[in-house]
Amino acid sequence: MEQVKSKTIRRKRRGGVRQWPLHLMLIPAIVSLFIFQYIPMGGVVIAFQKFIPAKGLFGNQKWIGFENFEFMFGLSKFWSLLRNTLFISTSKIILNLFMAVGASLLLNEIRISFIKRSVQTMIYLPHFISWVILGSIFQDILSPSSGIVNTVIKALGGEAVYFLGNEKIFPWTVILTDVWKNFGYNTIVYLAAISNIDPTLYEASAVDGAKRYQNIWHITLPELRSTIVLLSTLSLGSILNAGLEQILTMYNPSVYSTGDIIDTYVYRMAMQDAQYSLSTAVGLFKSFISMFLIIASYWMAHKFANYTIF
Amino acid sequence: MKKTLAIFLACAMLLVLFTACSGTGSTSTTAATTAAATTAAATTAAATTAATTAAKTTAAATTAATTAAATTAAPATTANAGGSSGEGYAIKFDPPITVTGVRTAVTASMADLPLDDNSWTQLYLDRHGIILEYLWVCDGSQYNEKVNLAIMSGEIPDIMQVTDQQYQQLYEADLLTSVDSAFYDYATADTITCTTEQGELAYEACKRNGELYAIPFVTLVKENAHVLYLRQDWLDQTGSPNPTDLASFEQILADFANPDLGGVNFSICDNKNMSFFKNVVCPMFGGAYTIWIEKDGGLAYGAIQPEIRDALAQYVTWYQNGYIDPEFITNDGPKIVEKIASSQIGLNYGPFSSPLSGWTSAAQLDENIEMSYFTIPTVTGGMAKMPIGTGIAGYWVASAECEHPEAITLMINDFIDKFYLSTSEEDANTYIDDITSGLALWQHSYCRSYRGFKNYQQSIDVGQYLNGQLDYENLTADSKGVATRIDQFKNGDISTWGWNEIYGLDGIFGAVEQLIKNDSYIQTAYYGAPTESMGSYNSTLEDLCIETFTDITVGKKDISYFDTFVEEYLAQGGQKIQDEVNEWYANK
Amino acid sequence: MVQQKRIGERIFDVIIYTVMIIMAFSCILPFINVLSLSFSSKDAATAGRVGLWPVGFTILSYKYILRNSQFFSSLLVSLKRILIGVPYNMLMILFTAYPLSKSKQQFTGRQIYVWYIIFTMLFSGGLVPTYMVIREIGMMGTFWALIIPGGVLVWNIILMMNFFRSVPPSLEEAAFVDGAGYLRTLFSIYIPLSLPAMATIGLFTAVAQWNAWFDGLIYLSDPTTYPLSTYIYTVVNEASKALDGARISDPEEMRYLMTISDKTIRSAQVFLAALPILLVYPFLQKYFMTGIKLGGVKE
């Protein structure tokens, strides 16, 4: 949404003199974030130490520089972990976007209020079911021998698919089930954005004789653009979190090659010992990648579309 | 007006921020105040002061004489138990001392009862003048994490339970005080007898340079070793032999894979971690997957030994024959329980407590059920040796600041006394389980250690009761509860079926007893602290094992790959760990 | 021509309705399954016999969760958390999103502020240093540890900021002409026009506060002060120990745990966690569905 750049005299005076309320309003957030986010950031030094809890946080920990990172990159599995993480995460972001935007557009077209509200409540529900339960439900539904999905596939003449046990299919199982779980929740944001759209735009297009699908394409979607771009960019911030809790409940050693992500691997390591140094190093690595991606998108949007995402 | 309101709100928020910051998190319990009141009224009779000196070893020796008589390999019989005679337990601090601790929370149903003021804290106070104060209480799932955080911030309580890794770190950082004399001078003979029923390994594992720096929280290893669970009603139907060797075992596998029995065409339900393979098939072939064994003068890890290869080769054949659930790679614990409960499989394994889980549900749903229990056979016919660990559930440590580490021992003495030796009903209702409310009051105790063969002994006692050889009154309070439940079952209450399966005549202890009497165990040969490389490589190696074994089982790789696997294993850190373990072994 | 258009529109409608209804059912069926599990007997649940209808109807799992007074004291804690936490969060969000929604020209230094808060979304010290900070401040073990450290929800702020930006600047200019300042404009113009956004973000915040269980577990020292989600987590955790017999190192736990099944308790937990939101949601729905524009906007 481009900001209107007006060069009235009024603005200049406002800009100079009465900005202080704006600064003042920001103070609580700045202070709170400083105490609870910035100060703890100092703890990343753990990533460069061989951290032993007994010596205390400020104690005499052995400094080992980048050894933790070397260990991480040196793991034969590391690159497959990274690849799996990126693949699953990116697919989730894209598909989630399509489904959420698509669903909100469709919901917007529903005229019967009762159906609209019921449908919206129902698609919202899976969000509340924890993965521990869903994992068990999906295990049943997707079972090659007794699951509903495969029963249908076999009835249609196909062969049973081992959704959770076949390493080629497993990532897609993860992606699609996650989209199913969360798209309802995400439609809320888009619906709120749609309801923000100026109704006169639709009135004007009706006068021009536009059909409904034309409305969607030419009015609704462009108006949603800022929200879509914003949410997508923000999700880049968690691009290396491909869904720890979900994958933990759904994976097994047979699908490690495509389903093991950075977080699940670190989780298994941490169960053995409290591997603080390594998990902090991994966290640092993830943060850097995320930051790089966000800066890159921000810069590109700015340079090529003259648009400030946030 | 709105503007001022808004500014006011903003300031209020900032204020909230700062006042909350300066608030003190008060976690001190009210024990301190109650303790102050009781000190004034404390009994300072000469008797107790005299007892502190006399009670140490002499009194303990006299009670020990009666109990020690019958104890060599067999567990101490309850008939001779001294119970809470007072001797050996009457060491009392006057004035009372305060001991700080941290602990896991009790179950939610008991949340109404205060942790700092209950029957056990009262016992500690009355008997020993110990005021127990908890710095914090945490749910079991986060306990270890919270202990780590506490250690990091330097807030170590006087007494706490830690993991082996934490124990090692604390010891190396000189944050602990020795508990050697604190234990050996203050432990009653009963305590020592009970906690060493399974052997002394637990204590050896806690020693550093021959001195105890932690008191082990001894738990069960021998009596809860795995045995086979078989549906006798299925055995009768198919006419299968008893599993006495490999051939007969295979026969059962073939017979049970009949859809007419359970509706499925496999008989083994394994899980994604291949637990059935590890815990049943490996011992069958003489393998010890989970522990370190002595080999060629040194120590080697069980999972890469040739016996495992043999076991795996056999497992592959069974998979090809269809005996194993093809979905095992996605099965987890609950899934297997489900199959047991719905009578889809009639063969599984487990410790003595498993009848209470899935099998009980099966019993509720299928009235034909009848169980038989067998020790795991060897290939040629005999009893497989079950691999077991050190039997330590946790390490009780005393911080360097702790002035009275013997408090640990005293509390453990109390636990052993009330839990295993006392036959008084009143004791049972006050300290173990309250019959009327059903609350598990024993959870309020702090320092504990378990008796190695408690359940085995219980099954003997209850058996004698059921045979009419032992009076109900003479059972320990705990056993009384068991006996009552079995009586209920005999009167037609199916819900307590599991208790009869465990402790009743013809119960699972028939099989477990075989293991115990023949000492059919391989104990881990490594009982030192976790080595440095273990922390770095263990999970990678575990992954390697399970991925390889799964691939071989389902046929993705040939069994001949096993040798390459061993090389891989050693190359990816296994060799480093082995070297460290052997260094320990050489210096033992 | 008109005929075709109407048929086209109708087919369009039918497709949309069918698709949405199928989606909705696929979402609600598992929920019904979970609900039925929560009302089923332990044995039936363990044996996997429960479909869309309870088998062996019982309210035992709910009784188990609800039976102590701790459930209600935890419920109160959670309510307190929502009553104090949500307004606190919302005020933070509004006061932060509003200045940041101004352009660079209007508000100097805006870029710096924005990156300042975005950075905290990307980098974190982790649990250990955060724990230390909270301890040093003296919040450890207090109710405030649940509210203050997580008070600034950056994601929601950015979202709100985006909504604010879509308010036509002409409105603001008009207000300035009338002599209002930034603060006044926020309250009389932006907030009333952003009710759908506020409802959305308010809902997200409330849901997050209601379901957050981990912070209670780590920062509180006394289980009687747990918020509801943490309490229920511990209850479910107990129940799940019952399932794997080999892991029970404590022989006395067996007796107690055998009366409950992990599946039914977990299912009850899901339902209890979702219940309040399900009750509140219909009231908030109208804000998402229709645009509420006070005074209309005619460009």
Which tens digit of pLDDT belongs to each residue from A63-103?
A: 888 888 988 888 888 899 999 999 999 999 999 999 999 99
- Write the CA distances from A274 to A186, B142, B165, B389, integer angstroms: 35, 12, 9, 21
* From B6, B16, B481, residue closest to C187, measured CB to CB: B6
- Looking at residue A274, its pLDDT comes to 67
pLDDT tens track, chain B, 588 positions: 444 554 555 454 554 444 444 333 333 333 222 222 222 222 222 223 333 333 233 333 333 333 333 333 333 333 223 344 444 567 888 889 999 999 988 877 777 788 889 999 999 999 899 999 999 998 888 898 899 999 988 889 999 999 999 999 999 999 999 999 999 999 999 999 999 999 899 999 999 989 999 999 998 899 989 999 999 999 999 999 999 999 999 999 999 999 998 889 999 999 999 999 999 999 999 999 989 999 988 999 999 999 999 999 999 999 999 999 999 999 988 889 889 988 999 999 999 988 887 898 899 888 889 999 999 999 999 999 999 999 898 999 999 999 999 999 999 999 998 888 887 878 878 888 777 776 778 889 999 999 889 889 989 999 999 999 988 888 887 788 788 889 999 998 888 898 899 998 989 999 999 999 999 999 999 998 888 888 888 888 999 999 999 999 999 999 999 999 999 999 999 999 999 999 999 987
Alpha-carbon span A235 to B9, nearest angstrom: 32
- pLDDT for C79-106, tens place per residue? 999 999 999 999 999 999 999 998 888 8
Cβ of A146: how many Cβ atoms within 10 Å? 12
Alpha-carbon span B228 to B244, nearest angstrom: 11
- Residue C78 in this model has a pLDDT that exceeds 60: yes
- Residue C250 in this model has a pLDDT that exceeds 70: no
Greatest mean pLDDT range, B110-114, C50-54, C282-286: C50-54
- Looking at residue B378, its pLDDT comes to 95
Secondary structure, 3-state, B355-415: HHCHHHHHHHHCCCCCEEEECCECCCCCECCEEECCCEEEEEEEECCCCCCHHHHHHHHHH
Cβ of A14: how many Cβ atoms within 10 Å? 18
Measured between beta carbons, the chain A residues lying within 8 angstroms of C277 are 128
Alpha-carbon span B37 to B117, nearest angstrom: 14
In a shared domain, residues B346 and B309: yes
CATH number of the domain encompassing residue B157: 3.40.190.10
In a domain, A262, yes or no: yes
Rounded to 10 degrees, the C-alpha dihedral B167/B173/B175/B180 comes to: 60
C46–B337 C-beta distance less than 8 A: yes
In a domain, B472, yes or no: no
In a domain, A141, yes or no: yes
User: Which amino acid is it at C72?
Assistant: F
* From C9, C124, C293, residue closest to A283, measured CB to CB: C124
Name residues whose C-beta falls within 8 Å of residue B113's C-beta, 6 or more positions apart in sequence: B106, B439, B444
The subunits that touch chain A, with at least 3 C-beta pairs less than 8 Å apart, are B, C
- Looking at residue B446, its pLDDT comes to 94
| Percent over 90 (pLDDT), chain A | 27
In a domain, A157, yes or no: yes
In a shared domain, residues B302 and B368: yes
Q: Is C27 within 8 Å of A126 (Cβ atoms)?
A: yes
Angle CA(B314)–CA(B319)–CA(B320) in degrees, nearest 5?
100
Mutate to test the interface with A, among B148, B337, B539, B554 (most CBs of A within 10 A): B539
- Looking at residue C262, its pLDDT comes to 67
Residue ranges covered by each domain of chain C: 2-46, 65-289
B361–C43 C-beta distance less than 8 A: yes
Q: What is the DSSP letter of B268?
A: B
In a domain, B320, yes or no: yes
Cβ of C136: how many Cβ atoms within 10 Å? 12
| Percent over 70 (pLDDT), chain C | 85
Q: Is B292 within 8 Å of B302 (Cβ atoms)?
A: yes
How far apart are the two ends of chain C, measured CA to CA in Å? 33
C184–B3 C-beta distance less than 8 A: yes
Secondary structure, 3-state, B461-525: HHHHHHCCCCCHHHCCHHHHHHHHHHHHHHCCCHHHHHHHHHHCCCCCHHHHHHHHHCCCEEECC
Name residues whose C-beta falls within 8 Å of residue B120's C-beta, 6 or more positions apart in sequence: B414, B431, B441, B444, B445, B446
In a domain, B455, yes or no: no
Helix (H, G, I), strand (E, B) or coil at A66: coil
Alpha-carbon span A280 to C127, nearest angstrom: 10
* From A42, A230, A291, residue closest to C162, measured CB to CB: A230
- Looking at residue C293, its pLDDT comes to 38
In a domain, B56, yes or no: no
In a domain, B307, yes or no: yes
Mutate to test the interface with A, among C13, C49, C166 (most CBs of A within 10 A): C166
Alpha-carbon span A87 to A258, nearest angstrom: 9
In a shared domain, residues B121 and B187: yes
Alpha-carbon span B445 to B452, nearest angstrom: 19
Element holding B348 (H helix, E strand): strand B347-350
- Does C165 lie at the interface with A, CB-CB under 8 angstroms? yes
* From B111, B135, B139, residue closest to C68, measured CB to CB: B111
Helix (H, G, I), strand (E, B) or coil at B103: strand
In a shared domain, residues B401 and B323: no
Interface of B with A (CB under 8 A): 7, 10, 13-14, 17, 21, 144-145, 148-149, 151-154, 165-166, 169-170, 172-173, 175, 272-273, 326-327, 329-330, 332, 334-335, 530, 534-536, 538-540, 542-543, 546-547, 550-551, 554, 572
Angle CA(C225)–CA(C227)–CA(C231) in degrees, nearest 5?
90
User: Which amino acid is it at A44?
Assistant: V
Measured between beta carbons, the chain C residues lying within 8 angstroms of A180 are 26-27
* From B170, B539, B551, residue closest to A269, measured CB to CB: B539
In a shared domain, residues B269 and B167: no
- The boundaries of the domain holding residue B359 are 227-388+523-586
For the question of whether the overall pTM of this predicted structure is more than 0.95, the answer is no
Q: Which pair of tokens denotes residue B299?
A: 């120590």
Number of structural domains chain B divides into: 2
Under the banding of pLDDT at 50, 70 and 90, the label for residue C270 is confident
B2–C256 C-beta distance less than 8 A: no
Element holding B99 (H helix, E strand): strand B97-104
In a shared domain, residues B208 and B239: no
Which 70-99 residues of chain C touch chain A by CB within 8 A? 92, 95-96, 98-99
* From A111, A119, A213, residue closest to C20, measured CB to CB: A119
* From C88, C187, C254, residue closest to B353, measured CB to CB: C254
- Looking at residue B6, its pLDDT comes to 46
A33–C122 C-beta distance less than 8 A: no
Instruction: Mark which of B429, B444, B459 sits at the end of a domain.
Output: B444
- Looking at residue B575, its pLDDT comes to 95
In a shared domain, residues B110 and B186: yes
Could you tell me which of A221, A115, A114 has the C-alpha nearest to residue C20?
A115
Q: Exposure of B207 by Cβ count < 10 A (0-12 exposed, 13-18 middle, 19+ buried)?
A: middle
Number of structural domains chain A divides into: 1
- pLDDT for C135-154, tens place per residue? 989 899 899 999 999 889 89
In a shared domain, residues B427 and B358: no
- Does A207 lie at the interface with B, CB-CB under 8 angstroms? no
Alpha-carbon span A1 to A306, nearest angstrom: 11
In a domain, A287, yes or no: no
- Does A115 lie at the interface with C, CB-CB under 8 angstroms? yes
Rounded to 10 degrees, the C-alpha dihedral B231/B232/B238/B241 comes to: 110
- Residue C217 in this model has a pLDDT that exceeds 50: yes
In a domain, B294, yes or no: yes
- Looking at residue C91, its pLDDT comes to 93
- pLDDT for A215-273, tens place per residue? 888 888 888 888 888 888 888 888 888 889 899 989 999 999 999 999 999 888 877 66
- pLDDT for A144-194, tens place per residue? 888 888 988 998 988 889 999 999 999 999 999 999 999 988 888 888 888
- Looking at residue C261, its pLDDT comes to 60
- Write the CA distances from A70 to A83, B69, B227, B577, integer angstroms: 18, 61, 45, 20
- Looking at residue C72, its pLDDT comes to 85
- Looking at residue C257, its pLDDT comes to 54
Q: Is B79 within 8 Å of B474 (Cβ atoms)?
A: yes
In a domain, B81, yes or no: yes
Instruction: Give B305 or A203, the one with higher predicted confidence.
Output: B305
Mean pLDDT of A25-46: 92
User: Which amino acid is it at A132?
Assistant: V
Q: Which pair of tokens denotes residue B403?
A: 């002035």
* From B17, B273, B554, residue closest to A31, measured CB to CB: B17
- Residue C252 in this model has a pLDDT that exceeds 60: no
- Looking at residue B42, its pLDDT comes to 28
Measured between beta carbons, the chain C residues lying within 8 angstroms of B26 are 141
Could you tell me which of A267, A129, A264 has the C-alpha nearest to residue A185?
A129
A29–C92 C-beta distance less than 8 A: yes
CATH number of the domain encompassing residue A158: 1.10.3720.10
Q: Is B572 within 8 Å of B537 (Cβ atoms)?
A: yes
In a shared domain, residues B266 and B338: yes
Alpha helix positions (H), chain C: 2-38, 42-46, 60-66, 69-100, 110-122, 127-137, 154-165, 169-177, 182-185, 191-193, 195-211, 214-219, 228-241, 251-257, 262-289
In a shared domain, residues B217 and B233: no
Under the banding of pLDDT at 50, 70 and 90, the label for residue C203 is confident
The shares of helix, strand and coil residues in chain B, as percent rounded to the nearest 5, are: 55, 10, 35
- Looking at residue B568, its pLDDT comes to 94
Mutate to test the interface with C, among B139, B271, B500 (most CBs of C within 10 A): B139
Mean pLDDT of A26-52: 91
**How far does Cα A83 stand from its chain's mean position?**
17
- The boundaries of the domain holding residue A257 are 75-272
Rounded to 10 degrees, the C-alpha dihedral B225/B226/B232/B236 comes to: -120
In a shared domain, residues B375 and B406: no
Q: Is B292 within 8 Å of B300 (Cβ atoms)?
A: yes
**How far does Cα B9 stand from its chain's mean position?**
55
Q: In angstroms, what separates the C-alpha of B406 from chain A's closest C-alpha?
A: 23
B327–A145 C-beta distance less than 8 A: yes
Chain A residue at shortest CA distance from C145: A36
Which superfamily does C65-289 belong to?
A: MetI-like (1.10.3720.10)
Could you tell me which of A190, A279, A301, A292 has the C-alpha nearest to residue A239?
A292
Instruction: Give A53 or B41, the one with higher predicted confidence.
Output: A53
Alpha-carbon span C76 to B506, nearest angstrom: 51
The backbone region for B274, taken as left when phi is positive above 0, alpha when psi lies in -120 to 50, beta otherwise, is left
- Looking at residue B267, its pLDDT comes to 94
A287–C122 C-beta distance less than 8 A: yes
